[in-house]
Amino acid sequence: MTRGGFHGQILRVDLSQGRVSVESLEDDLARDYVGGRGLGSAILWRELPAQTDSLSPENKLILATGPLNGTGAPLSSRYEMVTKSPLTNTILSTNSGGRFPVALKRTGFDAIIIEGAAQNPCYLWVDDQNVELRDASALWGMNSHQTTERLLEDTSPRAAVACIGPAGERGVLIASVMNEKDRAAGRGGAGCVMGAKKLKAVVVQGSQKTPVADPERFQEAKKNALAIVSEAPITKNALKEYGTAVLINIINLYGALPTRNFQEGYFPDADSVSGETLKELFYERSVACATCSVACGRATRTANRSGEGPEYETIWALGPACGVKDLELITEANYNCNELGFDTISAGSTIACAMELSERGYLDRDTLETIREELGGELRFGNGEMVLKCTELIGRNEGFGRLLSEGSFRLASRFGHPELSMSVKGLELPAYDPRGFNAMGLAYATSNRGACHLRAYFIGPEALATPYAVDRFASEGKTALVILYQDLSAVIDSLGLCMFTIFALSPEHYASLLSAVTGEHIDGRQLLRMGERIWNLERLFNLRAGFTKKDDALPPRFSQETLPRGHSKNKVVDLEPLLEEYYRLRGWDNEGVPTEEKLAEMGLT
């Protein structure tokens, strides 16, 4: 392959046979699906029957890089992990930043396909083109920090590690894959898939440079993009100063900060858990991914421990969602999630769901006795000590943690009230109440991996007036804009870029970077068409797995219950008209199935 941005090689690892092989990357996959999320999704679509049990050896785990990884393009250090989700049974792509994505690209492989399951714990060591499967029995049971430190000793201090903690080993459905100790490919349970395969870690280092077809043109495009990112208000000031937690007070002001399992949208104690308070009390230094000028990560320290985070979503999930205002306890619960290796959003939302089930008297006697014994009392909103203890139980999949480890939908369904799970397709909603942000409701309902803000981060226009302001309660014109954001987000994930670039760059900026690195002319319209192809492919996987129009739905709370106070008071979501228009604009039929004409247009026939 001569296409810039790619090494042209895929590493295939068969854990069942203990065998590795190298394959050529097909040019049409790189051309049509960009890289990263698109490349991984296309491989999964081709190779995995959608009815495959996600925790069986037949499931595949794909680590995929984008054409901008390793080029020095601004904020170009994200990699994708693609698999079938054990939490939702949808197609899952989840990404993470840090050093690992660039180190993975420098091995000379554009993607690693992992299949089968080892009989005993192992880890994969990729040093340039030298590949080994090594025994990890001594690592099994270690947390993400301990595992990372040991593997850097055993391999190379310059290597990068992506690993699972006890949560992944013990079958927690919301388990994450952790890199650089505290960075997470967090949503959907990819860590649980690794655990089922007895794969403790992937360790990488390399010296291969990402080929750039037109270096002079690329340097100009890179310089232009960096200048814009450096001057955009969100990436220049807010994220740099306070990290993502700067959003706590902003979203609360809108009356859309989900509180007590989305029963309210205003948290009276928001300032006590804000980014400003985090910086005042626990901040040590800012942390940046490779090639990042923003440095939104926070290294923090409490009286007892230190680590990274918490980020905005984590503070919300372990704090206001559970009615908790003690930022130190939230921060330490975040450390538990990172070290034990599981998703903070799903964890906090599931604990909040359990709190509501408890307060409404829906839990059975045996469960209540277990809670009293393990948590020391009744499970109620506002108890930060109980949230901290719950994260320990989830990570070790013990006691009451076994119920929490399956996510909120399974938990609420077990006790006869699935409507109290604030999830879509089984994935918990993030920290933006759709009654306060109209477009986010449609984005959640139609997201291919379940409720997710990063599949169309419309908080930019609806809350932050970036790149322009739109009426957050209006419906007119929103559907087309959500589609645009979904398609663009698919491309950003596939390029290997951070989603925060969407606060600054336009489709033409991304197209200029991709054109220069690949050597092929691509404009903004063509770029969005690539994103549309990826989105339709993911939809096809889910349809093949048995998902239908009924799964493009929000929890009934959002259409039946108004918020009692705040600046989104008395609002509800009217999803159906938006959904009808969405299907029509997508070129899908009334049941949400892409038409033959749309498939032909996308080259997906």
The pLDDT assigned to 556 comes to 98
Residue-wise pLDDT tens digits, 121-177: 999 999 999 999 999 999 999 999 999 999 999 999 999 999 999 999 999 999 999
The pLDDT assigned to 467 comes to 87
What angle (nearest 5°) sits at the alpha carbon of residue 447, between those of residues 445 and 451? 65
Count CB-CB contacts under 10 A for residue 233.
Answer: 13
Measured distance CA(89)–CA(343) in Å, rounded: 17
Using pLDDT thresholds of 50, 70 and 90, give the confidence band for residue 297: very high
Q: Is the pLDDT of residue 569 over 70?
A: yes
Q: List the domains of the chain with CATH numbers.
A: 9-205 (3.60.9.10), 241-424 (1.10.569.10), 434-503+523-602 (1.10.599.10)
Q: Is the pLDDT of residue 1 over 70?
A: no
Measured distance CA(145)–CA(143) in Å, rounded: 6
Measured distance CA(486)–CA(201) in Å, rounded: 31
Residue-wise pLDDT tens digits, 41-69: 999 999 999 999 999 999 999 999 999 99
What angle (nearest 5°) sits at the alpha carbon of residue 278, between those of residues 296 and 436? 75
Measured distance CA(321)–CA(477) in Å, rounded: 31
In this structure, are residues 519 and 118 in contact, taking their beta carbons and an 8 Å threshold? Answer: no
What angle (nearest 5°) sits at the alpha carbon of residue 73, between those of residues 42 and 466? 85
In this structure, are residues 167 and 191 in contact, taking their beta carbons and an 8 Å threshold? Answer: yes
Residue-wise pLDDT tens digits, 488-536: 999 999 999 999 999 999 999 999 999 999 999 999 999 999 999 999 9
What's the whole-number average pLDDT of the chain? Answer: 97
The pLDDT assigned to 237 comes to 86
Peptide bond into 121 cis (omega under 30): no
* pTM for this prediction: 0.97
Plot region of 36 (φ>0 → left; ψ -120 to 50 → alpha; else → beta): left
In this structure, are residues 536 and 601 in contact, taking their beta carbons and an 8 Å threshold? Answer: no
The pLDDT assigned to 6 comes to 97
- Report residue 238 as tokens: 């807010």
Amino acid identity at 254? Y
The pLDDT assigned to 2 comes to 58
